[in-house]
Amino acid sequence: MPVYSLIDSHCHLDFSDFDSDRAAVIERARQNGVTDIVVPGAFVGNWTKIHDLCITHPNLHPCYGLHPYWTDRHDENDLEKLRQQVASNPCVAIGECGLDYRQQQADRKKQLYFFTAQLDIAVEKKLPVVIHAVRATEDVIQQLRLRPGLRGMVHSYSGSYEQARQLIDMGFYISFGGAITHSRAKKLHAMIGKLPLTSLLIETDAPDQAGSAHQNERNEPAYLVEIFNALCKFRKEERAVIAQQICKNVKTLFNIT
Ligand SMILES: [Zn+2]
């Protein structure tokens, strides 16, 4: 089977899970056709690491943001630090930011505060946003409606088809990850077949969300090809056309040349 050029639109390569073998992980991704990787920021403490990593590897593209999962760790000053970080270091987006309504997650009011503040920074800096939405797609859509013209992606999409259509109508891309490699993911599979190819992205979200072939293992960007293969099963277009369009989508969204 030919190796297609693919772009991982969401991979936490800065996480300590990769500290012992990061160079090998990047090389395996390259050998599997992954030409570029977008690295989202999760908390202030790792922004410098992301910056340095992306300087060393020009095919890695940095984002800076405050992830809802670590809401307890963020404080008010981090928003000003985000403004400064973005002003003095090139990046392709604000994020990962968003809302996560799983029970164990932090206080929703505080999450909403950091999410909306980051959306406002993205508007101010004219940057796209990388959004994390778990059981919270409706509230995310509500906030995006208040900021027309803002663009971005919803990573590891888990909302409904109707919500995906609304997001696409607002200029957002829908990104699919390891979940679509599971045969039980019928709702996502049906959605993949119906959404416009011009609005789809793929991602690993490594080190998390390993696909069906790597359960209970560390995920890595080289496995993006398995997500691409899963996606192709539910599309009518030729594989080469799908690969090309998905790369074009990432490049357009993040202004990657
Ligand atoms: Zn993520």
Q: Is the pLDDT of residue 103 over 80?
A: no
Angle at which helix 161-169 crosses helix 186-194, to 10 degrees, equals: 40
Owning domain of residue 149: 6-217
Residue 34 lies in a domain: yes
**pLDDT at res. 210:** 87
Residue 169 lies in a domain: yes
Residues 114-164 pLDDT 10s: 999 999 999 999 999 999 999 999 999 999 999 999 999 999 999 999 999
Residue 116 lies in a domain: yes
**pLDDT at res. 25:** 98
Q: Is the pLDDT of residue 104 over 70?
A: no
Tell me the pLDDT band of 105, cut-offs 50, 70 and 90: low
Tokens 């992301």, located at residue: 50
Residue 249 lies in a domain: no
Q: How far apart are CA 85 and CA 226, in angstroms?
A: 34
Gap from CA of 88 to ligand 1 centroid (Å): 23
Average pLDDT over residues 213-242: 96
Contact 8, 36 (CB under 8 A): yes
Residue 230 lies in a domain: no
Backbone phi, psi, residue 56, to 5°: -65, -35
Residues 58-101 pLDDT 10s: 999 999 999 999 999 999 999 999 999 999 999 999 999 999 99
Gap from CA of 196 to ligand 1 centroid (Å): 23
Gap from CA of 154 to ligand 1 centroid (Å): 10
Helix (H) or strand (E) holding 176: strand 172-176
Gap from CA of 10 to ligand 1 centroid (Å): 6
Radius of gyration in angstroms for the set of CA atoms belonging to the chain, rounded to a whole number: 17
**pLDDT at res. 126:** 97
Residue 241 lies in a domain: no
**pLDDT at res. 58:** 95
Q: How far apart are CA 48 and CA 45, in angstroms?
A: 7
Q: Is the pLDDT of residue 16 over 80?
A: yes
For ligand 1, a single-atom ion, the residues with CB < 5 A are 96, 205
**pLDDT at res. 215:** 87
Q: Is the pLDDT of residue 37 over 70?
A: yes
Gap from CA of 205 to ligand 1 centroid (Å): 5
Helix (H) or strand (E) holding 162: helix 161-169
Residue 152 lies in a domain: yes
What is the tally of structural domains in the chain? 1
Residue, of 148 and 2, whose pLDDT is higher: 148
Which residues are CB-neighbours of 103 under 8 A, at least 6 positions away?
Answer: none
Backbone phi, psi, residue 238, to 5°: -65, 150
**pLDDT at res. 198:** 98
**Considering the chain, what is the average pLDDT of its residues?**
96
Gap from CA of 67 to ligand 1 centroid (Å): 8
Residues 191-224 pLDDT 10s: 999 999 999 999 999 998 888 889 889 999 999 9
Residue 1 lies in a domain: no
- CATH number of 149's domain: 3.20.20.140
The shares of helix, strand and coil residues in the chain, as percent rounded to the nearest 5, are 50, 15, 35
